[in-house]
A and B are shown apart, each in its own frame.
Chain A
Amino acid sequence: MSGRSVAKVGLDWWAVIAALLAVLLVRTGVLPHILW
């Protein structure tokens, strides 16, 4: 279960920071169109 135990306080903030950074890159047009 060692992998599951990474769910500690701290991981949440990193996820928020990474998501906000990605949003900023999309908003400023640095990231090209993201296809699915």
Chain B
Amino acid sequence: MSESAAIPQPYVLHPSLRVLRVLPGILLLAGIGFLGKLTEQTIAAYGKAHHLALPNIEYVLWAILYGLIVSNVAGVPAVFRPGVATYEFWLKAGIVLLGVRFLLGDVLKMGGVSVVFVVIELTISIVLMTLLGRWLKLSPKLTSLLAIGSSICGVSAIIAAKGAIDADDEDASYAIAAILALGAFSLFAFPAIGHLLGLSDHAFGLWAGLAVDNTAEATAAGALYSDAAAKFAVLAKTARNATIGFVVLAYAIYWSRKSQADRVSHKAAFLWQKFPKFVLGFLLISALATAGVFAKAQTTDIANLSRWAFLLTFAGVGLQTNLRELRKQGLRPLAVGAIGEFAIAAITLGLLLGASRGLGLL
């Protein structure tokens, strides 16, 4: 008898079968997303046929709502979970493909404007969250995680920072829960405020990209406003994401000086490790589009592929939001997050209004 038969081996799926594990969940994402799209089209067709002025509610909202209902009423069965978790992959692939709709010069120009706002937003967020965390007596590392999560890119930033500053699992899940709960709220609040103030697509997109923390929610908030706003939201959010390495590095150095985290020996390697690589893909596709590599019809095809990828993402946002779990995480981190986020949203909105109406920049 062979040795492997005598010693029980852990059950390992053959790589080709691992793909099968994610299939049911991906089909669920596609089903819910497509149902959202059908709902939007059905309502629009009904209004047109009956000469009714029905509000145009984008598929984005329907996909998120259906996802929320499935996950919070019925729950997501285990067989679907690996596939549902791929929604981050679709988000990033969608952003890379969206690069085709940007000319590189525009990216640099608009990215330049965004970077100015990003620097202001980062500074305000970090200072404000740190002061609030101290005031409400949160643990210092939880305060750091909330500051990083609210200043850069929500969940990915918190996960990146958790290892770098040696934070507890509990603190990380508190911070993630607070950021997600506020992200879900922003989805509904931001477009309503934007319409109330009559913000332009450019101004609204920048605002969503600067003030909504998680990339999926920022993209969804932009898409809920308009297609053009989604473009600007993705651009501003991508500029914000690109700073992740610098901010996490600064926190890692701060905590290692306090001897509560490992020292960072190779700063350049650390920055590269934390840099969101999909930004490079986005710039590459944008450069190819600028060089005229794609015909007009191909540009439309690639942009449509990006929309399909986002459709899966938005269904995933709803399916991943477990309201009961968010409630269980306690109120104080949520309070710090909520006060901070509200202030950041108000300040960035003020800055953008000043830039768009006062200076005529946007």
**What's the least CB distance linking B294 to chain A, in Å?**
7
CA distance A6 to B97 in the complex (A): 21
Which of B2-10, B261-269, B277-285 touches A? Answer: B277-285
Q: Is B88 an interface residue (CB 8 A)?
A: yes
Q: Is the CB of B273 within 8 A of A16?
A: no
Select one of A7, A26, A36 contacting B298, CB under 8 A: A26
Main secondary structure of the interface of B (DSSP, over half): helix
Q: Is the CB of A26 within 8 A of B85?
A: no
Task: Provide the A11-28 mask, 1 if CB < 8 A to any CB of B, else 0.
Answer: 111111011101100110
Q: Is B342 an interface residue (CB 8 A)?
A: no
Q: Is the CB of A36 within 8 A of B308?
A: yes
A19 / chain B contacts, CB cutoff of 8 Å: 93, 96-97, 281, 285
Q: Is the CB of B155 within 8 A of A11?
A: no
**What's the least CB distance linking B311 to chain A, in Å?**
9
Which of B186-194, B218-226, B299-307, B330-338 touches A? Answer: B299-307
Interface residues of B, count at CB 8 A: 44
Q: Is the CB of B302 within 8 A of A26?
A: yes
Q: Is the CB of A11 within 8 A of B88?
A: yes
Main secondary structure of the interface of A (DSSP, over half): helix
A13 / chain B contacts, CB cutoff of 8 Å: 277
Task: Provide the B139-169 mask, 1 if CB < 8 A to any CB of A, else 0.
Answer: 0000000000000000110010000000000
Interface residues of A, count at CB 8 A: 27
Q: Is the CB of B298 within 8 A of A18?
A: no
CA distance A31 to B85 in the complex (A): 26
CA distance A28 to B285 in the complex (A): 15
Q: Given A3-B320, A22-B305, A26-B302, is A14 in contact with B89 using a C-beta cutoff of 8 Å?
A: yes
B85 / chain A contacts, CB cutoff of 8 Å: 2-4, 6
Q: Is the CB of A16 within 8 A of B159?
A: no
CA distance A1 to B171 in the complex (A): 13
CA distance A34 to B294 in the complex (A): 14
Q: Is B297 an interface residue (CB 8 A)?
A: yes
CA distance A9 to B301 in the complex (A): 29
**What's the least CB distance linking A5 to chain B, in Å?**
6
Q: Is the CB of B276 within 8 A of A12?
A: yes
* Chain B contacts with A in 108-137, Cβ cutoff 8 A: none
Q: Is the CB of A1 within 8 A of B173?
A: yes
**What's the least CB distance linking A25 to chain B, in Å?**
9
A35 / chain B contacts, CB cutoff of 8 Å: 304
**What's the least CB distance linking A9 to chain B, in Å?**
6
Q: Given A15-B93, A16-B96, is A36 in contact with B307 using a C-beta cutoff of 8 Å?
A: yes
Select one of A2, A7, A9, A27 contacting B294, CB under 8 A: A27
Residues of chain A whose beta carbon lies under 8 Å from any beta carbon of chain B: 1-9, 11-16, 18-20, 22-23, 26-27, 31, 33-36
